Chains A and B, each alone.
Chain A
C-alpha cells in the first residue's frame, strides 16, 4: 500500500511538473512570437531598407572628359584609350598557367608576376586583375589572335588623359590628378579610382565643364559582390570640349625661341583680348602627372631654380624697367604737366638731395623731347617726368592700363603685381613715401612689379584706341558646368586723349624703327608687318658707388641670379595694330638684345600664320571703334 501512496504522490507531482514544463515552453515560444512581431512588423521597414542596401549597388559610369582644343581645333588635351590586359581568375584554368602562356606575348617581370599572384589570392575570383596597362597596338593584336587559347584573359579599354603637345602648353592646360581629400564634395564620381580632377591651368578652371555628368547603373549583387543583373541604367553626359584662343603652333614656336632661357612670352589680340601665346619657360610635361608623378621627378621640379612649376606669364612678378616709361609719359601728358615738346636735359645723372640718380648712359643724352626720350630710353628724362607727375598720378594711370591688379584670366595662380602709392607704403612699411622712390618708379624699378600678362595688356590698351581690353583664353563663357558663347566684348574707353596715345606710339615706333632707337636691330623690315615697342632692362641688384666709380660689371661677369631681367613689349603691325606682345627673359641681360628679337620673331610669325590661315581679316570682321592716329610734331 506504500507503493500505492507513492504512485499517487508521483502521479500528482508528475501532473504538476508537466504543467510547469508545458507552461515554461509556452512562455518561451511566446517570447519567440514577440521577437518575430518586433522584427517583422515593428522594425520591418528598417530591415527592408537594409536588405535593399545589401543587394542593390549603384555603379557610376564615369563620363569621358571634354577635350581642350586650340583656336584651329588642334587637340591640346585628349582622352587616350588605355588598353589594359585584364584577367578574371575564375575563368582561367589556372592563374599560373595563364601567366606562363601570356609571357610569350607580353614580357612580364618577376615583380609583376608576384603582384598578379598576390592580387589573385587577395581579390575575389571574379574581380578582374589588371596585368598590364597601356598596351601597344602590336600587343593588343597579338593577344586578340591568341584569345581562344587564353580563357579569362580580356582586353579592357579605359581612358587616360593625354597631352599631345606636352611641354608647349603645359602651364596653360595644367594637368589632372586623382582628387585629394579636400576636393571631395560628396559627389561619388570623385571617389572612383580612375577619376581625375583638374589640378592646374584650364584643366582646373574649367574642370566642371570638362568633367561632364556621370551616368549610373543600378545592379543587383550577391553577398560576395558578384553582379547578378542590371536593374536600371541612366546614361551620363560627356564633358564639354573647351576651345582656347591659343595657337599651339605659335605656342610651340615661343617655347623653341626661348630655348633654355627662363621667362615668359605673351601674345594677345589688342582688340578682343584673345591670347594667342601664353608661354612660360621652362615647362614640365603634364603627361607625367596622369598616373602620379615619381618622387624624384617632383623633387626635381620643385627645386629647379628656374621654377618650371610656376606659370611666369601670369604669376611671375617683375620690375617692368623701361617698359613702364609709357605710363609715366601718359601721366604727364594727360595731366598737362608736360607736352610732347617739353625738352629735358640729361647730363648722365640727376641729383635729388644727397642722392645721385644715374642714367644708363653715363655720359648723358643731352636735351631730349618726349619721343626722343622714349627712343633712347633716357632715365634722367623719366626721373624728371616722374618727379613732376608725382607717384599718385603715375599709379592712377598704371591702373587704368591694367597694372597693379589681376585681370581675371581663367586660370588659377594669377597675380596682380604691384603699383605703389603713398598710402600703400605707409600701410605696409610704416615709413612715409620718399621722393626718391618716385624717381625710381619712373623708370619701372623699385616697388613696381608687373606680370608679363599685364605688360601685354598694357601694350594692347596703348594701341587699340585706348580701350580697356581684357585678355581671355576662350571665347566661351563658363558658369559652373554650363558653357555658352561669350558675347563679343565691347570694352569701355580709358578716356585717354588720342593725341597723347599717338605720341607714345610714335616713341615706341622710333625705339624699333629709328636708327638710333634702342631696338633698331630687332626691327621688322617688311613695312606691312612692322613692329613698334619698348625695351626694358630691369636691375635685380644694387650697383654700389664704388662700382660706379671704377667700372660697372657686365652681365656676363655676374652670376646668373644677379644678371638683369630682359624685357620687351611690342605690337604689330604699326599701321593697324593687331597683336601686342610682351616677353621677359629672367636674368637674360639687355632688353634690346635678348627680349626684343624674340618679340619680333613672335609678332612676325603670328602675322604670317594668320595670313596662312586666312585669318588676317578677323579684325575687320569684328570692327572696333578706334580713332585715326594723329601724329603731330
Chain B
C-alpha cells in the first residue's frame, strides 16, 4: 500500500486551517469539561486536589492535541488508519497476555507519565479503520456479503478481547460505534437482523465468558432490591442520591449522599449522580442538553463533509460519544446494568479524556477538511 502523501493536494495553509476551526464545537467541549471540573472540585469536598486540578491540566493538554490532530491533513489520518488499528490491537493483546500472566484484570499499560488504556485507543482506531474500509465503497460492493467479513472481524476481535478483560462497557461501545459505520455505509437492514439473530444464539456462550461479578451485575440489575447491601447497593444508593436532589438540587458542594460516601466512585462512573444530587433535574437536563448540542454538531459536520471517510468518521465518532454518555447516564439511573462506563469529558480519568479529545480532534479535522475530496485509496483529489 502506497503511503506517500500527495503534498500537492492541500488547498489550505496551516494558518488558513486554523481559521477554519469550529469554535462552537470547542466551546461545547469546554462547557461540558467545565461541568466535570466543577463536579470533581465538589467530589473532593471543595478542593482542586486530587481530581479537578489534574483533570483540568489533562484537558489543557488534550485541547492542544485536538487542534494538532485537526490541522493534520485528513488523508494522512486515512492512510494511517490501519496502522493505528494494528498498534491498538497489539497493545490490547499485550494487556490481555499480561492479564493472563498477572492473573488480574489489568486494563492499562504503565508508560510512566500516563497509564495507557489500549481499549480507549481502540475505540478511536476502530472507527478510523472502519471509516477507511468503507470509504468510497460503492453500494454494489457493500452489498456483497464477502466484503463485510474483514470489517466484521475488525470489530469482533477487539470486542472479544475487551470482553475478556473483562470490560462489558467498552465492548458495547466498540460494537455500537462500529455498527453505526456499517449502518451509515449502507449495509442492508436484513444483514443487521441476521447478525442480531446470530448474537442471540451466541448469548449463552457470552454468558459463560462473563466473570461472576459481571453476571452478578446483570442479575442484580434485573432486581437490585434483592441484594441491597451487596451488588445492588450501587444502583440503590445512586437512585437515592438522584431522587433526593429534586428539581433544584441540594446546591453546589451540598450533596450529602456523595460526600458521606454512600455513593460509590462518585468521581468516576457515578459523577452524573452527584451532579443530579447537587444541581437537581435542572442541572442534569442542562448537561444532557449540552451533549445533544455537541452531538448535533457532530452530525452537522458529517453532513457538511464532502468525502465519505469524513462523513463516516464524524458519524462513528458521534455515535460512539453518544453511546458513552447514554450508557453511563442510563446506568446510574438504574435503567441498564452497571457496566463501568465513565461519563465522557466529565468523569475523572486521563486516558479516556485524551482519547475523547483526540476523537474530537478528528471530528474537527473532518470539519476543517470538509470540502476536500479524497480518492478511494486516499491519494489526492478524485473528482
A424 in the interface, Cβ–Cβ < 8 Å?
no
Cβ contact within 8 Å between A223 and B281: no
B239 in the interface, Cβ–Cβ < 8 Å?
yes
| Least Cβ–Cβ distance between B333 and chain A, in angstroms | 5
B351 in the interface, Cβ–Cβ < 8 Å?
no
Cβ contact within 8 Å between B180 and A21: yes
Cβ contact within 8 Å between A51 and B139: no
**B186: contacting residue among A10, A21, A28, CB under 8 A:** A10
Report the Cα distance A414→B239, complex, angstroms: 58
A17 in the interface, Cβ–Cβ < 8 Å?
yes
Contacts of A21 in B (CB 8 A): 180, 183-184, 299, 315, 319
Contacts of B288 in A (CB 8 A): 29, 32-33
Cβ contact within 8 Å between A54 and B240: yes
Cβ contact within 8 Å between B284 and A223: no
Report the Cα distance A36→B261, complex, angstroms: 22
| Least Cβ–Cβ distance between B191 and chain A, in angstroms | 14
Flag B320-335 by CB within 8 Å of A: 1 or 0 each. Answer: 0010001001100101
**B262: contacting residue among A6, A33, A54, CB under 8 A:** A54
**A35: contacting residue among B245, B291, B308, B333, CB under 8 A:** B333
Cβ contact within 8 Å between B245 and A40: yes
If A51-B256, A54-B240, A223-B260 touch, whether A25 touches B333 (CB-CB below 8 Å) is no
Report the Cα distance A222→B237, complex, angstroms: 13
Cβ contact within 8 Å between B139 and A6: yes
Contacts of A55 in B (CB 8 A): 256-257, 260, 262
B166 in the interface, Cβ–Cβ < 8 Å?
no
Interface residues of A in 206-231 (CB under 8 A from B): 220-224, 228
If A21-B183, A32-B329 touch, whether A220 touches B260 (CB-CB below 8 Å) is yes
A15, A35, A36, A221, most chain B CB atoms within 10 A: A36
Closest to B277 in A: A51
Q: How many of chain A's residues have a CB under 8 angstroms from any CB in B?
A: 39
Report the Cα distance A22→B300, complex, angstroms: 11
Closest to B333 in A: A35
If A10-B139, A14-B184, A50-B244 touch, whether A36 touches B285 (CB-CB below 8 Å) is yes
B276 in the interface, Cβ–Cβ < 8 Å?
yes
A39 in the interface, Cβ–Cβ < 8 Å?
yes
Report the Cα distance A41→B242, complex, angstroms: 10
If A13-B139, A17-B184, A33-B288 touch, whether A47 touches B261 (CB-CB below 8 Å) is no
| Least Cβ–Cβ distance between A190 and chain B, in angstroms | 25
Closest to B319 in A: A21
Interface size bucket, B side?
Answer: 35 or more
Contacts of A50 in B (CB 8 A): 240, 243-244
Report the Cα distance A43→B315, complex, angstroms: 37
Cβ contact within 8 Å between A40 and B186: no
Report the Cα distance A293→B138, complex, angstroms: 90
| Least Cβ–Cβ distance between A223 and chain B, in angstroms | 4
Contacts of B183 in A (CB 8 A): 17, 21
Cβ contact within 8 Å between B243 and A48: yes
Q: Is the interface of B mostly helix, strand, loop or mixed?
A: helix
B110 in the interface, Cβ–Cβ < 8 Å?
no
A97 in the interface, Cβ–Cβ < 8 Å?
no
| Least Cβ–Cβ distance between A538 and chain B, in angstroms | 65
Contacts of A228 in B (CB 8 A): 260
A141 in the interface, Cβ–Cβ < 8 Å?
no
If A36-B284, A47-B240 touch, whether A31 touches B262 (CB-CB below 8 Å) is no
A93 in the interface, Cβ–Cβ < 8 Å?
no
Report the Cα distance A3→B247, complex, angstroms: 55
| Least Cβ–Cβ distance between A20 and chain B, in angstroms | 8
**B247: contacting residue among A44, A51, A54, A221, CB under 8 A:** A44
Report the Cα distance A47→B276, complex, angstroms: 13
A9 in the interface, Cβ–Cβ < 8 Å?
yes
| Least Cβ–Cβ distance between B173 and chain A, in angstroms | 14
B212 in the interface, Cβ–Cβ < 8 Å?
no
Contacts of B122 in A (CB 8 A): none
Cβ contact within 8 Å between B333 and A32: yes
| Least Cβ–Cβ distance between B86 and chain A, in angstroms | 28
| Least Cβ–Cβ distance between B373 and chain A, in angstroms | 11
Closest to A51 in B: B244
Cβ contact within 8 Å between A40 and B242: yes
Interface residues of A in 521-565 (CB under 8 A from B): none
Flag B286-312 by CB within 8 Å of A: 1 or 0 each. Answer: 001001100110010011000010010
Interface residues of B in 239-290 (CB under 8 A from A): 239-247, 256-257, 260-262, 276, 280-281, 284-285, 288
Contacts of B262 in A (CB 8 A): 54-55, 222-223
Contacts of A36 in B (CB 8 A): 242, 276, 281, 284-285, 333
A46 in the interface, Cβ–Cβ < 8 Å?
yes
Cβ contact within 8 Å between B261 and A9: no
Cβ contact within 8 Å between A32 and B243: no
Report the Cα distance A473→B256, complex, angstroms: 55
| Least Cβ–Cβ distance between A126 and chain B, in angstroms | 13
Report the Cα distance A3→B311, complex, angstroms: 18
Report the Cα distance A223→B262, complex, angstroms: 5
Interface residues of B in 51-71 (CB under 8 A from A): none
Report the Cα distance A583→B288, complex, angstroms: 90
| Least Cβ–Cβ distance between A182 and chain B, in angstroms | 29
Report the Cα distance A18→B280, complex, angstroms: 32
| Least Cβ–Cβ distance between A117 and chain B, in angstroms | 25
A298 in the interface, Cβ–Cβ < 8 Å?
no
Cβ contact within 8 Å between A48 and B326: no
Cβ contact within 8 Å between A25 and B240: no
| Least Cβ–Cβ distance between A220 and chain B, in angstroms | 7
If A31-B335, A55-B256 touch, whether A22 touches B299 (CB-CB below 8 Å) is yes
A360 in the interface, Cβ–Cβ < 8 Å?
no
Contacts of B276 in A (CB 8 A): 36, 40
Closest to B315 in A: A18
Closest to B292 in A: A29
Cβ contact within 8 Å between B326 and A47: no
Report the Cα distance A449→B335, complex, angstroms: 77
Closest to A53 in B: B240
If A3-B138, A32-B330, A50-B243 touch, whether A224 touches B256 (CB-CB below 8 Å) is no
**B243: contacting residue among A25, A29, A31, A40, CB under 8 A:** A40
**A10: contacting residue among B257, B308, B315, CB under 8 A:** B308
Report the Cα distance A150→B246, complex, angstroms: 48
Report the Cα distance A32→B262, complex, angstroms: 23
| Least Cβ–Cβ distance between A2 and chain B, in angstroms | 8
If A10-B186, A18-B302 touch, whether A39 touches B326 (CB-CB below 8 Å) is no
Cβ contact within 8 Å between A14 and B311: yes
A54, A220, A228, most chain B CB atoms within 10 A: A54
Contacts of A3 in B (CB 8 A): 138
Contacts of A48 in B (CB 8 A): 243-244, 246
Contacts of B303 in A (CB 8 A): 15, 18
**A44: contacting residue among B246, B295, B296, B330, CB under 8 A:** B246
Cβ contact within 8 Å between A54 and B260: yes
Contacts of B139 in A (CB 8 A): 6, 9-10, 13
Interface of A with B (CB < 8 Å)? Answer: 3, 6, 9-10, 13-15, 17-18, 21-22, 25-26, 28-29, 31-33, 35-37, 39-41, 43-44, 46-48, 50-51, 54-55, 220-224, 228
Told that A6-B138, A33-B285, A51-B244 touch, could you supply 11 new A-B pairs with CB distance under 8 A?
Answer: A14-B184, A18-B299, A25-B322, A32-B326, A39-B239, A39-B243, A40-B245, A40-B284, A48-B244, A50-B240, A54-B240
A-B residue pairs in contact (CB < 8 Å), sample of 21? A3-B138, A6-B139, A14-B311, A17-B184, A18-B303, A18-B315, A29-B291, A32-B329, A36-B276, A39-B239, A39-B243, A40-B245, A40-B284, A41-B246, A48-B243, A51-B241, A51-B256, A54-B240, A54-B256, A222-B260, A228-B260
Interface of B with A (CB < 8 Å)? Answer: 138-140, 180, 183-184, 186, 237, 239-247, 256-257, 260-262, 276, 280-281, 284-285, 288, 291-292, 295-296, 299, 302-303, 308, 311, 315, 319, 322, 326, 329-330, 333, 335
Q: What 6 A-B pairs are tightest by C-beta distance, nearest first?
A: A47-B243, A51-B244, A222-B260, A40-B281, A223-B261, A223-B262
